[in-house]
Each structure stands twice: as structure tokens, then as C-alpha cells.
Amino acid sequence: MFKVSRPAAAVASLRTGLAKRACIHVPPVAVARSYATSASSYTIIPNTLHLPLLTTQLKDRKSAKLVLSNGIKGVVISDSETPVTGAALSVEAGSWHDTIEGTAHFCEHMLFLGTKKFPSEHDYERFIFDSNGQMNGYTANDHSLYYFSDVSPSAFDGALDRFARFFYEPLFNPNCVEREQNAVDQEFRKNIEQDGWRVLHVRKALANASHPFSAFNTGNLETMKMISQDTLKEWFRNHYSANLMHFAILGRDSVEVLAEKAEAAFGPIRNNNVPALATTGRAVFPTSLHRTLTWIEPIKNLRELTLAWEIPFKYNDDTTKPARLASHLIGYEGQNSLLSLLKKEELAEGLSAGQSHLGAENLLFEISVSLTENGVKEWQTVVGRIFEGIASLQATHVPKHVFDQVYLVNKIGYQFQQRSSGIATQWCGLLRRESIETFPQKSFFISSFDPAATQALLNELTPDTCMYTMIAQKAAFPLNKSEKWMGAKYATHPIKGGDLGMWKSAKPHPDVSHPAPNPFIPKHLALTARDSAHPQLLLSGNEGKLYFFPDAEFAVPEAAYMFNIKTPKIRPDDPRSIVLAALYTRFVHERLQEISYDAASAGLHFDVGSVPGDTGIAVGVDGYSENAALLLQSVLGFLRNPSVTEHEFAVYLESLKRSYQNASKDSPLRQAMDKLSNVIHEKYCPPAMLAEAAERISADDLRAFSESLYETRYIEAFVGGNVTGDEALAAWRLVQESLPGTPCSQESVARSKAIPFSETGPTYLDTNVPVKGNALVWALGLGTRDHKLRTGQELLSKLIKEPLYTELRTKAQTGYIVSSGGMQVEKQLFLQAVVQSNTHDPWDLLSRVELFHETFLRELVESGTEIQARFDAVKAAKLARLAQPYDTLAAKLRWFRYLAFEEDADFEFLEARMAAMKAYSLDDLREFAVGALGRRNKRRMAVLASGNSEENLEFKWRAYAKL
């Protein structure tokens, strides 16, 4: 695969993940125009990309590029029917600008904690959460980015006002400064045992000491203590300047109104004309690292070899994108690819290639290989193959069809884009890297084909200038160094002359060549006639059911074929069957690897995996409809017999065992969550049980399993999107013919049930985890779902979210990860709260969580108007989202599939939920909360996970003993 560029080493605040997907549209605007408003003025930048959107859903979406009066550049996106709104702002100030280690990151945290107009430290969080929204921020090397998304349209103005003030009137309240140091410290400590962070810190240790990359960027208590309120204020003044900022906003207002709102919100930010950071001529890594192997010992059982080159910044060119094309060529996984060769020789399981823009003018090009056990032993051969593969690609110029296909897929993706709630965040990130004059052309397209530039980049990838890194256990030489901040063991050794000589004389490998034309690229994209309010049941019988939904709402040339083939051969309480299913699906994926890369490059995806709940095999194909049936046919061709060979079996079994074993190195919170799953599900196999079952499985067992897997089965099928009923029926017949078998009873493939918590009293489960840190998972049983109970659960969990976070994280600083919400398992409803802490004992966390809920309940029952206003806001935001619950065709099809099979085809489900929500009053909620949170509800469960490190014992009660 080719790597997706991302901000290197971003320190993300854990509030939510970042946005996912690309969407874009800019309307024609003829000439630059300036607008004077009562407050100030902004300039509109003419649009240069004239490519119409073809998605009906977005026909009224408009956008405009602006330069505000203070110089901030940005985009406003107007979509009169968007169910959600959002905003993002980036500033070219990051950890490379730190004066004391961690200043930029600390500043990022502090901006969330109060502004002059909204001084309360929890005001912003409460406002966003109550509006059904999400928010986050991160600090990267050369920039920081902040956003909110998914906010209900009625709350947009309030959210924007609160957000924008971060950037011109933050309080840096001294009382918060002191407490938030602990949050940064806990964030640092939760990363210590994560291998990605450890590797990053070793790289920093190896970097040029004079380059800012080398500095410690997260910060911890040690460095935070040196940062005072004055330091923060001064740093903010010196680096947060309007000329270094970009923004994007998404709202329902017209473009003109949104532009006015952007000017009013961001216009007051000061412009100090701060120059952008330059690193021209300053390399991140010393040339002494060339021709060396750095071996790093991981915590988990990982095996990864990385070849890295620091390359000239010109390869970042956004018109020809040579690094993007080179990544596609090296990371190709189809026929005659480097990965296929390494797999054939049993040296590797995966490969990725791509550039990392470290920041400013520093670029790194990397090729990473996941090695087999054999690959670690013969790593020199792996490196040799990589250079032979590169030589093959250098031997002839990049074929034009490679460029044409990338261009075509980008164009289709652009023209048939659908709504994305994270669009403001995404555009803001793109805009900071592209000139506003051309935006978004260069972000979404490779504008011109320059095979020579790609060739020149390939020529940079020489054995002599390469830095080699191995991340694996059992190092080939003593690891005598320990990284300062995270303690990772590593050592750097020169590459032997003989190895280097062999790699330098690498000749093109006959089995590696440029990718052939991709058969999955769509050509016609014709839309079928569609008209349907609800899915139709096309077939129903002993063998299963087929639903068909030719959706008319999203006029896009996409389709989904989803088949859950349930079989009694796989059972949720049979670890052996789960392991066999995992191995079986791995083989199917391996057999399809050369097809799947081409398909994915053409916007078409497939998956073969276990049905959720481990009751069968799920087969799905989705994406552009034109060739979807063709891909389905290819997938089905391998389902009956994925040709299990002994040597591949050994590799995949070992890989699977490692993933089960690595679960014991997961964070304390993840391990505690797994324990809770085990408590709630009647039938459940934890990773340790699967690891044990994997010890007793042979290739013959897998063959026998594959051959008999579909002997008896029950098929739940859903076909929808840009397809006809005849096509849906043809797909159904194809599945039946490809997998001959007889029907089984539905009872024999029933899912595991959820077990309600005991009525007799709160119970706990404590567990020791062999990692740093403690965790508490607290859950409360609410009973069997009906629409009213579900409404209570949803509204109550929303109202609790911010106060719990404020109490346990912001005020008490018990942990960096503090979260809560509702949960549904089968038809059972729960409330949940989780904390991961490096300072507090799990029992202490449990008392705090219980005390919090007790206090919250009392205030809810006794409070007057304030809670009524919050209740109304939360309910309105929930209702607004229920009215428009899905943004894309794929999401809608998944939702209807769920209703068809999990809710007895109740396609009026949403209407019933909305009716229950509309009728729900604050008194209903109080009554529900008393029953749920009060002490009379004994259906409480706590999982207490205790880590094993010294730091967990810093503040621990011990038994008294008189001296």
C-alpha cells in the first residue's frame, strides 16, 4: 500500500479521532472582490477549479475562498441541508517552536480551558457535547490544528464564537495551568509503552541535535513545571499570529452570511506578521546515519524493517507529486509487485511506501516491510530484493496509464463525493499546504504528468544514502542504549561492506515491473432508475433472505453487496472455530491480494471476515457499481477452496498467535474493556483462550474446515445502491452456486445473548495487567431496550458526558483518558464510564465515579432552569441528527441492513425513536435517572485493572504495621 501522509508525530488531545474523508466543491467566482462590513472587510479569491459536482445531494452546496481583513486565509462551505456544522483553524506553530520542551503542546491544551467571554474551564466542552458535537486539537511539528464537528446547525453560532476566542483572548488561568500540567504528564505516560511513540523517540535521539526535530515534544511533569502562565502567554503572543493561520467552516447559511460570520469570528485575531519557520538546508538526520542499521526492541512482538531517505524538498511538488507516484509504484500489491515477490519468498507479510512531510522543508521517504520470522533472519536478502525492485522500476519510465488512472479515480471521487461531517477539518488541513489561489485543485489532483521527476526520486533511493531500522525482538547485536524519555532499548551498527556492495550492484528483478492497466477502473458510471422508500424482500425461504434497496436519495454510481453466510461450523463459544475462521479469511485475502489492490485503487473494496458475534462468514463488496459484480465473482471464486499450503499456513498461524499474545500488552483500559465483554456476553472467547486454541491447529484441520464450512448455512443478503433487482437476484444465485450446501436452522446459528448484570448487588472483577497504568471500567445495567428506555439512556449519557470529564480529568486530574456514554449489547442497555490513570488506584477511581454519579443525580433532581435549558438543547440536537442520520449511501445501506436483520425489518424504527424522543420530558428523565443511577439499581459492574509498574505504587494504601 502507499502511505497516507499525516502530520508526523502529532500530539493529539484525546477527545475524538480526526476526520476521515475527502469532499470538496468551490463555485465559480469571477474576480477578486472585497466586501466592507460594519466591522471590517474580507476579500474573495476567485475559483480556478471548474469541475461540477454530480451528486444530487450536494447540488446546492457552495463555497468561497476568503482572505480576512487580518490576513487569515480560509474557506466557507455553505450547505443549506447539512445535518451538522463545523469549523477548524490551523496555525503554523508547533513543537518545533518550543522554547521549553512541550510548550506548544501545553499551549494547545490550555486554549480549551477558558476565554475572556467564556471564562469557565468547561464551557466549551459542555457547549460542544450538548450540541451533539465533537472536538479536538493536536500539536504537530510545524503546526497546530483545532476543530469542532458534528455540531447541530442551531448551535453553530455559539460554537464558532466560543472556538474563535481561543485565538485572541485565552485566559491561561493560573489555577488551570497548574492542574493541566498533570494532564500533559498523564498523556506522556500513557504513551510510554506504545511502540510507535518509542520508535519516534529513538529517531529523535538519533537526529541532528541542532534540528528542532530532535527535541522532546510531548512534555511531561518535569518540563511542564518550568512553564509558567507568563511563559505560555508570551509563547502564544509570539507564535499565534493571523498571517500563519488558515480556517474552514461548514454551515447552513449562505456563502455571504458565512463569510460575514468568519470575519466576525476570526477577524479580531492579531496579525504580528510572524515569519514562518524555515529549515532550508538543515537536515533532520546526520549523514553519519547513512549505511547504518538501528535496531529497536519493541514492547509488543513486532517485526518491521524500514528503509528511510531524507530527500530534497522539491519532491513535495504539489503539481506533479513525484513522491505520490513513486509510493504507488513501490507500494503496489498487484501482479509483478515487490510485495508479491517478497511474499512468494516467504520474507514478508506486508509492505508500505510513502513520504512523510516532517515539517517545514524536511521530507522523508520510507519503505516499511512487515517481516516473517524468516524475513528477520534474512533481512539482508529483503533489503536486496527492495533494491532489485527499485532497479526494475528505474529500468523503464513510469507508464502514462498509471498517471491517467490515478487522475481519473481522483476526478470521479471528486465529482461523486458525498457529505462528510469532517469536511471543515479536512479542508483546513489541506489549505495550509496549498496556495489559496489554486485550492483545492492541487490537493485533489496530480495536475501534470512528469515521469522524469518520479524517475529522479527513484534515483535518490540508493543503498548509500539509506538509513535502515529494524523493530524486532531478539536483536542481532547487543542493544546498549536506552532512549532518555521512554527507555526504549536500541543500538546503531554500520552496515557490513559486503552487504552494501551486494545491494549497490542490484540488477532489475525479472518478477517486478510497473503496474499493468487496472481492469477495475470504471468507465461509464451509468445510473440505474431507482425508486424505493424501503428495502424490498426479494427472496425468503429456508436458505435465507435477500433484501434489495435501489436507493433513490443518493444519486451516486455506487453499490453494496453484503452477504452474511451463517454456519454452525463457527460458534462464539468455540475458540477453535474462531481461530480456524480467522485463518480461513486470511487465506482468502492472500489469494485475492493481487486483485484487491487494483480494485481498491479504483474505488472498489471487498471484505471477507467473521460475522459479528462469530456465527459465520461475512462477504461484502462495495464501491463504484460498474465492476462490483465482477469483484464479487472473483471473491466467491476463492471462498470454497483457498488452497491451504503448509508453508503459508505456518506463517499465518504464527502471525495470528502473535496478535492474540500482543493483546496482553494493550493499554490497561483496552484489557479492562475486554474483561467487560467477557462478563456481558454469554459466549465469549478472550484473546488468551484463542491463543491457546491456536496451539492445536494444523493445516489439515484448516483444509477440512474450509471444505465443510458451507455444507449447511443460512444466508442473510442485502444488495443496494445503484443496482437493479435482476442484478441483486443474479448475485444471490451466484453465491448459492459458488457455495453449494443445504439450509440450516436459524437456531443453530443464533448469536450469543447479553447477560444482564446481577440484581443482587454491585459486583467487581479485578485483574492485574502486565503494563504501566491502571484502569477502571464502570458499567450500569439499565434493562431491555424499548424506545423510551433508549431515549432516557441517550439523553442522560449526553448530560453526564461533560461534567464527568470536567470532574475526573480537568479538575481532579485522575487520568488523561476519561470518557463516558451509552452502550447497547444485543437488546440490553448500559451506561458506561472509563478512566485510565497513571496516578490513581482503580478502587480510588471507582469511589470517585460513584461519588460523581451520586452528586450528579442529586443536582439533576434538585436543579431548576439551568438543567432545563441543557435538557432542551441536548434533546433538540439529538432530534436534529435523528431526522438526518446518514451522510453517505454506504452508511444508509448499512443502517437498513441492520434494520432488516437485527430489528425484524422494522423500517419505521427511526420514526418511532423520534416520536419517543419528542414526547420525553425533563420529568421523565429525572424519574429514569433516579431508577438508573440511584443506589436501588444494583446492576452495577466494575472492572479494576492494576498495572505492574513502580509508578502505580507511588500513592497506594498499605496495611498498617506497628513498628
Minimum Å gap between C-beta 816 and Zn ion is 8
What is the smallest separation between the CB atom of 394 and Zn ion, expressed in angstroms?
43
Answer for the pair 577, 945: CB distance below 8 angstroms, yes or no: no
Pick between residue 220 and residue 888 the one whose CB is nearest to Zn ion.
220
Size of the site for Zn ion (CB under 5 A): 2
Q: Which is nearer to Zn ion, 139 or 327 (CB)?
A: 139
Closer of 14 and 54 to Zn ion (Cβ): 14
**Nearer of residues 13 and 241 to Zn ion, judged by Cβ:** 13
Least gap, CB of 219 to Zn ion (angstroms): 9
**Please, which residue, 572 or 815, has the CB nearer to Zn ion?**
815
Q: Retrieve residue 513's grid coordinates.
A: 515491473
Q: Residue 817 CB, nearest distance to Zn ion (Å)?
A: 11
Q: Which bin fits 281, alpha (ψ -120 to 50), beta or left (φ > 0)?
A: left
Three cell numbers written together for 415: 465529482
Q: Given the complex with Zn ion, which of 146 and 403 has the nearer CB atom? A: 146
State the minimum distance, in angstroms, from the CB of residue 224 to Zn ion.
11
Least distance from C-beta 234 to Zn ion, angstroms? 20
Give whichever of 13 and 182 is closer to Zn ion, judged by the CB atom.
Answer: 13
Q: How far is the CB of 139 from Zn ion (least distance, A)?
A: 7
Task: Give the Å distances, CA to CA, from 412 to 320, 429, 444.
Answer: 19, 22, 11
Residue 738 is classified by DSSP as H
Taking the least distance from each CB to Zn ion, the nearer of 180 and 195 is: 180
Q: How far is CA 479 from CA 188, 202, 292, 483, 820, in A?
A: 24, 12, 14, 11, 42
Q: Which stretch binds Zn ion (CB under 5 A): 6-14, 402-410, 604-612, 896-904?
A: 6-14
> x/- binding map, residues 794-833, to Zn ion, per CB under 5 A?
----------------------------------------
Write down the residue that cell numbers 497506594 correspond to: 956
Q: How far is the CB of 11 from Zn ion (least distance, A)?
A: 5
Candidates 12-20, 342-350, 591-599, 730-738; binding stretch for Zn ion (CB under 5 A): 12-20
Q: Which three cell numbers stand for residue 592?
A: 485475492
- Considering only 13, 70, 78, 839, the residue that binds Zn ion (CB under 5 A) is 13
- Decide: residue 622, CB within 10 A, 0-12 exposed, 13-18 middle, 19+ buried: buried
Nearer to Zn ion, 219 or 544 (CB): 219
Pick the closer one to Zn ion by CB: 144 or 577: 144
| Residue 214: DSSP 8-state | G
Q: Which is nearer to Zn ion, 191 or 828 (CB)?
A: 191
Binding part of the chain for Zn ion, among 180-188, 430-438, 594-602, 729-737 by CB under 5 A, reads 180-188
Alpha helices in 474-557 (DSSP H): 497-504
The alpha carbon torsion through 125, 127, 129, 135 (nearest 10 deg) reads -60
- Closer by beta carbon to Zn ion, 185 or else 558: 185
Mark residues 185-224: x for contact with Zn ion by CB under 5 A, - for none: --x-------------------------------------
* Stretch in the footprint of Zn ion (CB under 5 A) among 8-16, 292-300, 404-412, 574-582: 8-16
Task: Tell the smallest beta-carbon distance from residue 815 to Zn ion (Å).
Answer: 13
Nearest in space to 169 (alpha carbons), one of 111, 88, 106: 111
- DSSP classification of residue 806: I
Q: Are 104 and 234 in contact (CB under 8 A)?
A: no
CB of 199 to Zn ion, least distance (A): 19
Our CB check for Zn ion shows the closer of 187 and 450 to be: 187
Residues 624-653 within binding reach of Zn ion (CB under 5 A): none
What minimum distance in Å lies between the beta carbon of 105 and Zn ion? 6
One DSSP character per residue, 915-963 reads HHHHH--HHHHHHHHHHHHSTT---EEEEEEE--SGGGGTT--------
CA of residue 673 relative to chain centroid, distance: 19
Whose CA is closest to 690, among 699, 678, 672?
A: 678
CB of 13 to Zn ion, least distance (A): 4
Q: Which positions from 318 to 337 touch Zn ion by CB under 5 A, shown as an x/- string? A: --------------------
- Amino acid 891 reads A
Q: Cell numbers of 895, please?
A: 443502517
CB of 180 or CB of 253, closer to Zn ion: 180
Strand-pair partners of 784: 828
Binding segment for Zn ion among 11-19, 115-123, 445-453, 818-826 (CB under 5 A)? 11-19
User: Contact region for Zn ion (CB under 5 A) — 164-172, 183-191, 563-571, 651-659?
Assistant: 183-191
Number of residues that make up the chain: 963
- Closer to Zn ion by CB, 13 or 426: give it: 13
Dihedral angle over CA of 310, 314, 317, 322, nearest 10 = -60
At closest approach, how far in Å is the CB of 187 from Zn ion? 5
CB 558 within 8 Å of CB 722? yes
Binders in 226-255 for Zn ion, by CB under 5 A: none
**Which window, 5-13, 632-640, 732-740, 881-889, contacts Zn ion (CB under 5 A)?**
5-13
* 227/341 with CB nearer Zn ion: 227
Which listed range, 10-18, 30-38, 805-813, 825-833, lies at the site for Zn ion (CB under 5 A)?
10-18
Instruction: Count CA atoms closer than 13 A to 263's CA, side-chain side.
Output: 22
Per the listing, cell 472455530 goes with 577
* Number of residue whose CB is nearest Zn ion: 13
Angle at 363 between CA 362 and CA 366, to 5 degrees: 145
Closest by alpha carbon to 87, among 265, 343, 314, 275? 265
Q: How far apart are CA 370 and CA 585, in angstroms?
A: 19
Q: Which stretch binds Zn ion (CB under 5 A): 13-21, 117-125, 322-330, 556-564?
A: 13-21
Q: In angstroms, rounded to a whole number, what is the distance separating the alpha carbons of residues 606 and 620?
A: 5
Q: Does 181 bind Zn ion (CB under 5 A)?
A: no
Stretch that binds Zn ion, among 168-176, 182-190, 206-214, 460-468 (CB under 5 A): 182-190
- The one-character DSSP state at 287 is G
Which of 519, 627, 649, 492 shows the shortest CA–CA distance to 580?
649
Name the minimum Å distance from CB 201 to Zn ion. Answer: 16
Phi, psi at residue 37, to the nearest 5°? Answer: -110, 175
Q: How far is the CB of 691 from Zn ion (least distance, A)?
A: 34
Give the per-residue contact string, 129-168, with Zn ion (x = CB under 5 A; - = no).
Answer: ----------------------------------------
Q: Which is nearer to Zn ion, 187 or 841 (CB)?
A: 187
Output the smallest distance, CB 487 to Zn ion, in A: 21
Task: Take residue 401 and report the three cell numbers written for it.
Answer: 496509464
Q: How far is the CB of 30 from Zn ion (least distance, A)?
A: 44
Tell me the closest approach of the beta carbon of residue 138 to Zn ion, in angstroms: 8
Cβ distance 470 to 297 under 8 Å?
Answer: no
Question: How many angstroms separate the CA atoms of 62 and 81, rounded?
Answer: 12
Nearer to Zn ion, 180 or 310 (CB): 180
Joined grid coordinates for residue 901: 436483520
Q: Which residues pair with 777 in a beta bridge?
A: 834, 943
CA–CA separation, 449 and 408 (whole Å): 13
Stretch that binds Zn ion, among 71-79, 179-187, 282-290, 936-944 (CB under 5 A): 179-187
**SS3 of 855, please?**
helix
Spatial separation of the C-alpha atoms in residues 326 and 456, rounded to whole Å? 10
Are 808 and 835 in contact by the 8 Å Cβ rule? The answer is yes
Binding positions for Zn ion, rule: CB under 5 A: 13, 187
